[in-house]
């Protein structure tokens, strides 16, 4: 496609979403390099993100830009490109979330740098959706999320709680301190293990570096917050069978996960390449099929509208503290991370992504 044709088509598509190229609105895209036009049609969403990383376009409010793009479904109009086709074929042919491959996301994302995450997240180091009920404070909203989660689990002193995907140990610490439970946390990130062990020092908390499929024992309660997105559709049923085996007969399991409106077998090519390798978002249908005959669904709630505010808070903290880590990461990383946080925020505002807490009891 010629540059002139690419410019014309891009202008028409964006105009249908209320976006003007080089316009005056804060959500209008400002093109700084004409290479932008061809890459978005040859590489779709992957090209859109990479072109921002390259500095080929700017926007004052990327979250609002992405929101409008998704609401107008422009992504669907240019989605059928080679990057998506290759990724779809790859995920159908291969299990990208085997026991061996499960540690890739730990090395490439969660092991980046504990300081990076500590400067971006709240004091509890919760890297999942906060609960902004009656507060605008990220710290307070994350405490409310932890209390909400533990309350649903009906924790009592002396219970054994398994936290699959325990992150930096914030939930384990909160549960042990406030509910008197014994916690086993599991993560595939070595950096998280070190941080969580230090955070929970002196508490009845054990932090393990391992894949969920290797966990042994019996637990009164199981929780998984922001980890199911790394399980993969080929392993959803396996995950549920593992949890059922580990859970006491009268136990409860809370699944906290980002979800998709549609059943897919792959994720965004840009997210796959730069942020969360081998990840994907489950649908209601996929979760339902994975738990059928294993669990009873007691409650299913959507907190997706809280994730927009969470991501915007993380971005605010990231930008505010950037000078403290910029020499380690560089400007391309800054643009990549900015696009990751703000485009994700836009997807939640557009209701493309959801955040579910699913409360399950064991089917006897």
pLDDT on residue 9: 86
Looking at the fold, whether 290 and 177 belong to one and the same domain comes out as yes
Q: Are residues 68 and 157 in the same domain?
A: no
- 302-320 average pLDDT score: 98
**Does pLDDT of 38 surpass 90?**
no
Q: Residue 194 falls within a domain, yes or no? A: yes
Q: What average pLDDT does the chain have?
A: 90
Residue 137's SS3 state is coil
Question: Which tens digits make up the pLDDT trace of 289-308?
Answer: 999 999 999 999 999 999 99
Res. 78: pLDDT tops 70:
no
Q: What are phi and psi of 123, to 5 degrees?
A: -65, -25
Q: Residue 212 domain-assigned?
A: yes
Longest alpha-carbon distance in the chain: 69
- The number of domains in the chain is 2
Residues 260 and 241: their CA atoms lie apart, in Å, by: 22
CB 235 within 8 A of CB 260: no
Mean pLDDT of 166-193: 96
- Of 80, 109, 142, the domain-final residue: 80
Same domain flag for 69 and 105: no
Quick one: 239 and 158 in the same domain? yes
Q: How far apart are CA 174 and CA 265, in angstroms?
A: 35
* Tens digit of each residue's pLDDT (9 = 90 or more) over 320-346: 999 999 999 999 999 999 999 999 999
The CATH number given to whatever domain includes residue 211 is 3.40.50.150
| Residue bearing the bigger pLDDT, 259 or 46 | 259
Within this chain, do residues 68 and 106 fall inside the same structural domain, yes or no? no
Q: Are residues 67 and 156 in the same domain?
A: no
> 90 lies in a domain?
no
Task: Provide the percentage of residues in the chain whose pLDDT is more than 70.
Answer: 90
DSSP H/E element including 6: helix 3-16
The last residue of one of the domains, among 80, 114, 149, is 80
Instruction: Identify whether residues 230 and 148 lie together within a single domain.
Output: yes
User: pLDDT confidence of 185, banded at 50, 70, 90?
Assistant: very high
Cβ contact 254:175 at 8 Å: no
Bridge partners (DSSP) of residue 183 are 161, 205
Residues 228 and 326 in one domain: yes
Kindly state whether residues 273 and 308 are assigned to the same domain: yes
- 148 vs 87 pLDDT, higher one: 148
Residue 284 lies in a domain: yes
Q: Is residue 243 part of a domain?
A: yes
Whether 54 and 33 have beta carbons less than 8 Å apart is answered as yes
Quick one: 105 and 70 in the same domain?
A: no
Q: Read off the pLDDT of residues 81-124 as tens digits, 9 standing for 90 and up.
A: 444 334 333 434 444 445 555 556 556 667 678 999 999 999 99
Of 80, 109, 133, which residue sits at a domain end? 80
Per-residue DSSP letters for 237-274? HHHHHHHHHHEEEEEEEEEEEEEESS--S---HHHHHH
Would you say residue 94 lies in a domain?
Answer: no
Residues 59, 108 within the same domain: no
**Per-residue pLDDT tens digits for 82-94:** 443 343 334 344 4
What average pLDDT does this structure show over 279-287?
95
Which residue range(s) make up the domain with 254? 101-362
């Amino acid at each position: 496609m010629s540059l002139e044709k690419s410019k014309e088509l891009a202008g028409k598509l964006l105009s249908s979403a209320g976006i003007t190229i080089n316009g005056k609105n804060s959500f209008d895209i400002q093109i700084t390099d004409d290479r932008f036009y061809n890459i978005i049609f040859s590489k779709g969403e992957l090209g859109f993100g990479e072109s921002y990383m390259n500095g080929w376009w700017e926007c004052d409010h990327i979250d609002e830009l992405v929101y409008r793009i998704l609401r107008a479904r422009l992504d669907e109009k240019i989605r059928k490109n080679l990057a998506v086709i290759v990724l779809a074929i790859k995920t159908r042919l291969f299990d990208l979330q085997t026991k061996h491959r499960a540690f890739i996301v730990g090395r490439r994302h969660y092991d980046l740098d504990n300081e990076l995450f500590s400067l971006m997240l709240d004091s509890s180091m919760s890297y999942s959706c906060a609960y902004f009920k009656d507060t605008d404070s990220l710290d307070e909203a994350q405490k409310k999320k932890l209390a909400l989660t533990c309350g649903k689990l009906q924790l009592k002193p002396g219970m054994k709680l398994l936290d699959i995907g325990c992150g930096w140990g914030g939930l384990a610490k909160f549960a042990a301190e406030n509910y008197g439970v014994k916690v086993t946390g599991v993560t595939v990130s070595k950096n998280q293990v070190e941080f969580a062990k230090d955070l929970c020092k002196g508490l009845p908390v054990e932090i393990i570096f391992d894949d969920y499929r290797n966990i042994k024992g019996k637990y009164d309660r199981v929780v998984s917050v922001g980890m199911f997105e790394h399980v993969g559709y080929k392993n959803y049923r396996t995950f549920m069978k593992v949890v059922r085996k580990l859970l006491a007969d009268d136990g409860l399991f809370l699944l906290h996960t980002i979800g998709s409106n549609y059943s897919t077998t792959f994720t965004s090519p840009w997210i796959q390449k730069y942020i969360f390798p081998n990840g994907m978002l489950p649908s209601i249908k996929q979760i339902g099929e994975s738990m059928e005959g294993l669990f009873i669904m007691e409650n299913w709630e959507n907190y997706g509208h809280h994730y927009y505010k969470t991501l915007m808070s993380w971005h605010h903290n990231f930008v505010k503290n950037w000078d403290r880590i910029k020499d380690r990461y560089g400007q391309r990383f800054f643009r990549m991370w900015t696009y990751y946080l703000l485009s994700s925020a836009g997807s939640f505002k557009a209701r493309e992504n959801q955040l579910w807490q699913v409360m399950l009891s064991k089917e006897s």
